Chains A and B, each alone.
Chain A
Amino acid sequence: MAFNFEPAVIVESIPQLLKGAELTIYLTVGGLFFGFILGALFGLMKLSPSWPVRKIAGFYIETIRGTPMLVQAMFLYFGLPMAFGFRLPAMVAGVIIIAVNSGAYIAEIVRGAVQSINTGQMEAGRSIGLNALQTMRYIIWPQAFRRMLPPLGNQFIISLKDTSLLMIIGVGELLRTGDEIVAVNFRAFEVYLACGLIYLTMTMSIAKVLKIVEKRMKIEGR
């Protein structure tokens, strides 16, 4: 039997897919929100003068970066309940996975950006009497943050795509939604194509917004 492409299927499935895309956005934004907090925390810990603090941060970063996100998700959602008899709601688990995973990468982004700021800045801050924390807050961090933006934008796009892996724990995000449609109508070609197009639209929009933000930041401060 010959394959015939039916564009109408795409059009029909779009409303449902967009509902899934909405969850995808929630997962991404929620996950990255907490991921940034984790990343900032562990990134700065990696720069701590204290050896144990650095080691703890290093352990987190290495462990997360050294294991597949799919394994992390399945461990959290299926593995941990075996031990604790309690399963998180899938959406919550999804946000945690994105947060913990992106946090490890963001930690490295934060560390690199902070390290890239000239030591003279720290010295100047200290020599006008600011303590180490104030110097970080008023002088190092604002400069480092600007340098973080491009890699953070990149991480945003990566994390958004990574949410598709969460279909495995039953989060009804975009790909899972597509999967469910295919289970009913068997139009895998059209439906997954539609999914891909929606992902592409989202990632390209993020890239566009980031370009604008970066440009504005460049004009405002130097």
Chain B
Amino acid sequence: MISIRNLHKSFGKVEVLRGVNIEVAQGEVVVIVGPSGSGKSTVLRCINKLEEPTSGTILVDNFDIMDKSTDINMVRTEATMVFQHFNLFPHMTVLENVTLGPMKVRGMGRQDAQKIGRSLLAKVGLADKDSNYPDQLSGGQKQRVAIARALALQPKAILFDEPTSALDPELVGEVLEVMKQLAVEGMTMVVVTHEMGFAQEVADRVLFIDEGVVQVDKPPREFFTNPEHPRLKDFLGRVVC
């Protein structure tokens, strides 16, 4: 589904990614962890081409995103992003946030888009909020709207960049619950998070990124119970499991 090969990314002289390789199969949930500044967000942003990779290959649904002939807007809808700070459109109602993509990108009619939008809002538990504006919602509700907005595109994969990091602790659960549901339904997901519980419970594989490369790539059981890698041991020691 997503295939990252030998991805390099530099900001000016600083090389943040130094040959990242990640394969994500259809329906797989891959969790990425790593210290702050290790380049986790950069990997996701490269998949979405919000950052231009310096070198390497990224295939999304077999489309080479570095290839000039690839319709990048289409690829972005196939692997869309959920952001740490939600990035909802504040001038639109919740329903409009969700229907914008289907209408403008997928060319869907308003009626159909709203029907899908409403059902997705119901799915994330916000059926009654469709005509509210984003700043009338709590952080957890906002992030669930953002997930509905992503789902409305009927993507093949969703990239989550620390979706719960900006939330008050008591609101984290409701978002993780929705994400678990998606995982159960077979959505392909790449999740950058510090929620180790989520990784243990939901992930098919957990990746540890450090010093610009994937240091560890293992199923969660092994990843957490037997962290041989010294820096991973150190990292896991510092985060609460």
**With A142-B91, A222-B90 given, is the CB distance from A128 to B133 under 8 Å?**
no
Closest to B136 in A: A222
**Residues of A close to B92: CB separation below 8 A:** 221
**With A123-B50, A127-B80, A128-B80 given, is the CB distance from A221 to B91 under 8 Å?**
yes
Most chain A beta-carbon neighbours within 10 Å: one of B81, B87, B92, B100:
B87
**Cα–Cα distance between A126 and B83 once the two chains are bound (Å):** 12
Number of interface residues of A (CB under 8 A): 20
**Residues of A close to B91: CB separation below 8 A:** 142-143, 146, 221-222
A145-160 Cβ-contact flags toward B at 8 Å (1 or 0): 0100000000000000
**B238 close to A (CB within 8 Å):** no
Q: Are A129 and B85 in contact (CB under 8 A)?
A: no
Closest to B81 in A: A127
**B188 close to A (CB within 8 Å):** no
Number of interface residues of B (CB under 8 A): 27
A124 to chain B, nearest CB (A): 4
**B149 close to A (CB within 8 Å):** yes
Partner among A118, A120, A130, A131 whose Cβ is within 8 Å of the Cβ of B101:
A130
A145 to chain B, nearest CB (A): 9
**B104 close to A (CB within 8 Å):** yes
**Cα–Cα distance between A138 and B80 once the two chains are bound (Å):** 18
**B134 close to A (CB within 8 Å):** yes
**A139 close to B (CB within 8 Å):** yes
A112-139 Cβ-contact flags toward B at 8 Å (1 or 0): 0000001011011111111100100011
**With A121-B87, A128-B153, A146-B91 given, is the CB distance from A138 to B134 under 8 Å?**
no
B132-171 Cβ-contact flags toward A at 8 Å (1 or 0): 0111100000000000011001000000000000000000
**With A123-B50, A142-B91 given, is the CB distance from A128 to B134 under 8 Å?**
no
Q: Are B76 and A222 in contact (CB under 8 A)?
A: no
Instruction: List 16 contacting pairs A-B, 8 Å CB cutoff, sorted by A.
Output: A123-B50, A123-B81, A124-B88, A124-B89, A125-B89, A127-B83, A128-B76, A128-B105, A129-B74, A129-B80, A129-B105, A130-B100, A130-B105, A146-B91, A222-B90, A222-B136
Interface residues of B (CB under 8 A from A): 48, 50, 73-74, 76-77, 80-81, 83, 85, 87-92, 100-101, 104-105, 133-136, 149-150, 153
Interface residues of A (CB under 8 A from B): 118, 120-121, 123-131, 134, 138-139, 142-143, 146, 221-222
Known: A128-B80, A129-B153, A222-B133. 7 other contacts (CB 8 A): A118-B87, A124-B89, A125-B89, A129-B76, A130-B73, A143-B91, A222-B134
User: Top 6 nearest A-B pairs by Cβ distance?
Assistant: A124-B87, A129-B77, A128-B101, A129-B105, A120-B87, A127-B81
